[in-house]
Amino acid sequence: MLQRDRQLRTQVYQLKDAALFALALWLAHYLRNLVTPDFFGWKFDPIQGFDQFVWLYLIIIPGAPLILESQGFYQRPVFSSLRETAWLLFKGCALVTMGVILVIFFFRLSENLARGVIVLFGFISFAFVFLTEELLKAAYRSRFGENQIKKRIILVGTAEDTNRMREDFRVRKQHDLDVLAEVDLNQSSIADLVRLLHETSANSVIINAKHTFFGQVERAIQACEIEGVEACLVADFFKTHISQASFDDFHGRPVLVFRSAPEASWQGVFKQALDMFVSFVMILLLLLPFAAVALAIKLTSPGPVLFRQKRCGLNGRPFTMLKFRSMGTDAEQRKVELEALNEMGGPVFKITNDPRITPIGRWLRKYSIDEMPQFFNVFRGEMSLVGPRPLPVDEVQRFDDPAHRRRLSVKPGLTCLWQVSGRNNVKDFKDWVRLDLEYIDNWSFWLDVKILWRTIPVVLTGAGAK
């Protein structure tokens, strides 16, 4: 994993651990008072005396993660052994506990904070952090977790170079890297790399080649630039047209990273947190409306309630998108008959007053109710609240301009810049892509918030729906 990605993940873990140490101190005080109540009146106050040493948080919250880091706790592999995790955490918690004892001794706080609280704090801190680490490890081993944590890469270079990188991964126990394919520059062409990008849905290409292959390396980077796939070059830099070049470290080797899509950042973490929170809340709030819509669909037309279709997700990786069925069951077959009526230039199919739409389906589409099941796709991490709308796999395969694939470099979304910019006025797929790329090139967390805010009146009024 690149150093920038490691640093971001470490910072998230440090915030998590700081909160757990803070909670452990309060819980230790709470339990200490709970087991020593006033037996005559059975009086118990969980915050009694706590306010006199709450300032210890100013030391524990920033200090505990720093001590864990000094013990190498955050540098261990993601899937480190239980023994390694326990030993590093034990040393860290012991040092934090001794540090708190020293602070209490030098500032003479022993009469306000019982010694039993400090010992209990150390054990609870260890239990909290150890439990969350093991739970995260189990989550990362799940299919959902692997999709979130694993970096799907293609190695490019000579056979000698790629073999050396594979050995580095093995020695360093890099379980968060998934090598999907290798491209030998002695035997393969850039066309082979592009084909592999389409087939594997890789999200990163690691290029390590000698100076004699600089021409091929440059073409490989330009191909990744067009595709919207991150390219990491373990070499000198080359001129690009769209990508932002940044310096990083890949297992001790200096690399230049060329990105034509948003890089990992705190804004990205906030975006993912917002996706998970909002989608979960909306699923809970819409359970009864979902049931009513499902019943209405079932009573008014034959066929399933949900329409499932393979769409292209991040980097073109297919996923099953969910919608309330708004067309007849023979919609896909009749699409061939209606191709001549297509109003959208390019590979996308759209017509006004589509005869395949059921009466209730027209109402569902007008207010975008048919899209509501996609909150499940968002919650599963396959989509985002905001992003380019996902297209069917067959339409993506018909792209006539390779540059259009860069819209696949971010997660597809429920809403996008195109939908809040008068989608009925967009008649050419190139204009649609232009808006998507404008979103990608100018992305920020606040841009997502603005698009979500502008989406509300569009949905409520049914503006621009077809």
> Averaging pLDDT over each range in 6-10, 361-365, 381-385, which range is the top one?
381-385
* 3-state SS string for 237-263: CCCCCCCEEEEEEECCEEEEEEECCCC
Model confidence over 19-47: pLDDT tens digits?
999 999 888 877 876 655 554 444 445 55
Look at residue 200 and tell me if it is in a domain: yes
Distance CA 464, CA 461 (A): 9
Distance CA 407, CA 450 (A): 20
Task: Give the tokens for residue 109.
Answer: 């706080």
* 280 and 215, same domain (yes or no): no
Domain boundary among 241, 259, 277: 259
Predicted pLDDT at 41: 46
* 415 and 279, same domain (yes or no): yes
* 282 and 192, same domain (yes or no): no
- Which range, of 33-47, 128-142, 380-394, averages the lowest pLDDT? 33-47
**107 — phi, psi (to 5°)?**
-100, 10
Given the structure tokens 């499902």, which residue do they identify?
294
CA 69, 70, 76: angle at the middle one, nearest 5?
A: 55
| Position 258 confidence tier, pLDDT thresholds 50, 70, 90 | confident
* 343 and 231, same domain (yes or no): no
CB 197 within 8 A of CB 154: yes
* 310 and 395, same domain (yes or no): yes
Q: Is the pLDDT of residue 203 over 80?
A: yes
* 231 and 295, same domain (yes or no): no
Q: How far is CA 24 from CA 13, 71, 294, 389, in A?
A: 16, 20, 46, 44
Tell me the CATH number at 222: 3.40.50.10700
Domain count, the chain: 3
Task: Give the tokens for residue 188.
Answer: 């393969």
Distance CA 231, CA 148 (A): 19
- Residue 156 has what DSSP assignment? E
Domain boundary among 215, 236, 259: 259
Predicted pLDDT at 249: 79
Q: What rounded mean pLDDT belongs to the chain?
A: 84
* 402 and 422, same domain (yes or no): yes
* 254 and 327, same domain (yes or no): no
pTM of the model: 0.74
Identify which of 406, 432, 429 has the alpha carbon closest to the alpha carbon of residue 421: 432
Domain boundary among 201, 229, 259: 259
Helical pair 214-227 and 190-200, crossing angle rounded to 10 deg: 30
Look at residue 466 and tell me if it is in a domain: no
**168 — phi, psi (to 5°)?**
-60, -45
Distance CA 261, CA 411 (A): 11
* 236 and 335, same domain (yes or no): no
Tell me the residue range of the domain where 203 lies: 150-259
